[in-house]
Amino acid sequence: MFSFRKKLKHDIIKWVKCMLENLNEKQIEAVKHKDGPLLILAGAGSGKTKALTTRIAYLIKEYGVNPENILAITFTNKAAKEMKERIEKLIGKTNLLASTFHSFGVRILRENYERLGYKSNFVIMDSDDSLTLVKKILKDLGYDPKRFSPYMIRNKISSNKSEFIMPEEYKNFVHSEEDDIVYKVYKKYQEILYRNNSVDFDDLLILPIKLFKENEDILDYYREKYKYIMVDEYQDTNEAQYILIKMLAAKYRNIACIGDNDQSIYMFRGANYKNILNFEKDYKDAKIIMLEQNYRSTKTILDAANSVIKNNTFRKDKNLWSDKGEGEKISFYKSYDEIDEVFYIIRKIKELISKGTPYKDIAILYRTNAQSRVFEQELLKQNIPFRIVGSFYFYSRKEIKDLLAYLRLILNSDDDISLIRCINTPKRGIGPKTISEIEANASNYNTSMYKAIKDGKALEFKKVIEELKEDLKSCTLTEFIDKVLDKSGMRMVLKEEKSLEADIRLENLEEFKSVTKNFEERVGIISLEEFLTEISLVSDIEEYKDDPNRITLMTVHSVKGLEYPYVFLAGLEEGIFPHRNCYTPDELEEERRLMYVAITRAMKKLWITSAKKRMIYGQESPSVLSRFVREIDPDLIEKINKEEKEQVKKEKRVYKEDRVFNYGDKVNHEIYGDGVVIEVTNTILTVAFNKDVGIKKILKNHKSIRRV
């Protein structure tokens, strides 16, 4: 027996030594901390997940803590699964609870539904169900959903719940007609949820808090059950999550939170970075451990990140360092425009590939989804495999497909597929029943659905299309897109929604005007038919689904938690990064944290680019260099020399001088040959070419056309 115990003790000592041997001093300090509040401030790439999972394993193996008394909380199911897998690699199978906040909330509600007045079979509504309910309530209350956006109201309800503001409390914040509508809908919304034995996603956090506040015995049960609580990504917690954790940890105070205040980038989702900054106020005896050694990046990259983030006021000071060597300087390229920017980046990518770098080691980052378009188009043309993470390809996005459906229907009113897609987009009260009736009439008379429309709201839609057909005759493609967005109602609906998702969709639609503008400048032809032909070739993107070796394109928000040996960060201009919707000091600091996240994704080499001018929403505008570039220590930056710039320089695509044409002038076009001017407007020439070419509308100042 003695020898068995001796062997067991020896095995445990060996296991503990093995567990700790790949950790640095600060990580070991965090792992060995047993009782009392602990805050681990873990910089980017500092091995925080390793420290957290090892600590949990250490509590179980070395300190003998029952796994059932440990609660590990994170934000995604993927992260929770990964956390448990890493722990079980260290100690074997365990009944430890590793969960998301919302999954934990569901568990509490399932175990205590009766105390809240619910039945065991309560239903969790998804976001679509929630929106449908808001629309119904608006209708029942007699409000016009076109005037008061259901999306906006749903988002405000969610925001209030995240901040633990219930309808009776929200009543105190009513200062406008819009606020009053939100209050009435919110109040009715909660009543209906309860009556229907339903909860929404936000309730999964709100109701457990309510349960705990009203039932001390239940709260005490969970406090006894979960004596050790660990929270990952603590900087991303909202008010409700903060309250829930604080209530659970109040008795034993064995709470360990890990995160990085410099990587708090989800304020738009309700995250409150102050939760991590206030940890020491909440727990005055808290132990604070900083993980500052970075295992990902070179010293140059980290010094750049540090020099930017130190300009933020509301943060805990730390300084990332690395033993991976100095590394290459950050390359900065100031391009002529966004096309020049893309050409430069692709040229550098080709250099990397020629030296044996796999495509998967390369990432292109940008601030907004709309910026992906120019990269998609050029990478496709040059047959370079890529993938987009966290979003759809530009031409696959719903709002772009909706707009293209309008354009195709305007060009060809017999296109039933396009009509079905856009006739009720945005919502205009034309439901499946009406569409089925139109289809039946079209079939009976052997005609298109468009021609079969005779009355009702569908006829109003038809009148809009006819108006747009007339508009097409007298304006450029870019001007025409504006008219489609306005007359269809697409722009107005998205503006009124007042949500982040709506803003992104609107940005993409406005970016489409840059597509038409580039087409006009390059081709000179004002032809919707030719434009749509070209778009169909570009939009049919081969997604290289079977090839994992692809360049990654993504927004900076999507890249958090990831790393790449080679990173290109594009569009570093004021109004883009930092974003133009950044108004307050808090919002600016969040943008700077986003820049910090972007820089620290790079392992070996970082390129940053900006443009002197940029096509934004179809308008060419001069650009101002982002303040974030100016905040990087100049000694860390290598500016691209003139010789290299010359290698990526391209021809000017448009003649800027105004040229005079008159009715009857003979002209020559580079592609279509000789013709005669038959109509002149401020910007457009209508030219009659030979019968094989026909009549074409051409930009008056385009390089392709000249008088003869």
SS3 at position 73 = strand
Question: Rounded CA gap, 469 and 65, in Å?
Answer: 74
pLDDT at position 13, please? 57
Please state which of the ranges 84-88, 420-424, 486-490, 690-694 shows the lowest mean pLDDT: 690-694
Residue keyed to tokens 């919502």: 427
| Residues 66-79: tens digit of each pLDDT | 999 999 999 888 88
pLDDT at position 3, please? 57
pLDDT category at 651 given cuts 50, 70, 90 is very low
**Rounded to the nearest 5°, which phi and psi values hold at 514?**
-70, -30
Active site residues: 48-49, 232-233, 263, 601
Whether the per-residue pLDDT at 312 is higher than 80: the answer is: yes
Across 196-205, 359-368, 617-626, the highest mean pLDDT is recorded for 359-368
- Decide if 693 contacts 672 (C-beta within 8 A): yes
pLDDT at position 16, please? 61
| Residues 531-582: tens digit of each pLDDT | 887 676 555 444 444 568 899 999 999 898 899 999 999 999 999 999 988 8
Percentage of the residues of the chain whose pLDDT score is greater than 90: 44
Give mean pLDDT, residues 89-99: 89
SS3 at position 639 = strand
- Decide if 55 contacts 254 (C-beta within 8 A): no
* Preceding peptide of 208 cis, ω within 30°: no
Whether the per-residue pLDDT at 465 is higher than 80: the answer is: yes
Please state which of the ranges 56-60, 100-104, 327-331, 524-528 shows the lowest mean pLDDT: 524-528
Q: What pTM, to 2 d.p., does this model score?
A: 0.74
| Residues 693-704: tens digit of each pLDDT | 778 877 777 767
Whether the per-residue pLDDT at 627 is higher than 80: the answer is: yes
Which residue, 189, 246, 176, 172, is CA-closest to 213?
A: 246
The partner residues of 554 in beta bridges, in order of sequence, read 365
Please state which of the ranges 379-383, 430-434, 487-491, 584-588 shows the lowest mean pLDDT: 379-383
Question: Rounded CA gap, 180 and 197, in Å?
Answer: 26
pLDDT at position 543, please? 46
Question: Rounded CA gap, 164 and 202, in Å?
Answer: 10
SS3 of 93-147: the string is CCCCEEEEHHHHHHHHHHHHHHHHCCCCCCEECCHHHHHHHHHHHHHHCCCCCCC
| Residues 581-592: tens digit of each pLDDT | 888 899 999 999
Question: Rounded CA gap, 441 and 435, in Å?
Answer: 10
Please state which of the ranges 249-253, 366-370, 392-396 shows the lowest mean pLDDT: 392-396
**Helix residue ranges, H only, 328-384:** 338-354, 372-381
pLDDT at position 658, please? 46
**Rounded to the nearest 5°, which phi and psi values hold at 309?**
-70, -25
Alpha carbon distances (Å) from 247 to 218, 219, 409: 12, 8, 58
Whether the per-residue pLDDT at 657 is higher than 80: the answer is: no
Output 230 or 272, whichever has higher pLDDT. 230
Give mean pLDDT, residues 254-263: 92
pLDDT category at 152 given cuts 50, 70, 90 is confident
- Decide if 45 contacts 295 (C-beta within 8 A): yes
- Decide if 36 contacts 59 (C-beta within 8 A): no
Whether the per-residue pLDDT at 669 is higher than 90: the answer is: no
Joined tokens for residue 302: 């980290």
Question: Rounded CA gap, 414 and 447, in Å?
Answer: 8
| Residues 17-28: tens digit of each pLDDT | 667 878 899 999
pLDDT at position 546, please? 52
pLDDT at position 54, please? 93
pLDDT at position 539, please? 54
Which residue, 453, 471, 470, 474, is CA-closest to 462?
A: 453
pLDDT at position 5, please? 55
pLDDT at position 648, please? 61
pLDDT at position 14, please? 57
- How far from the centroid of its chain's Cα atoms is residue 138's Cα? 29
pLDDT at position 188, please? 93
Question: Rounded CA gap, 12 and 16, in Å?
Answer: 6
- Decide if 19 contacts 42 (C-beta within 8 A): no
pLDDT at position 108, please? 93
Laid out side by side, the sheet with 330-335 consists of: 386-388, 551-555, 362-366, 564-569, 602-611, 330-335, 637-639
Q: Round the average pLDDT of the chain to a whole number and report it.
A: 86
Question: Rounded CA gap, 528 and 409, in Å?
Answer: 11
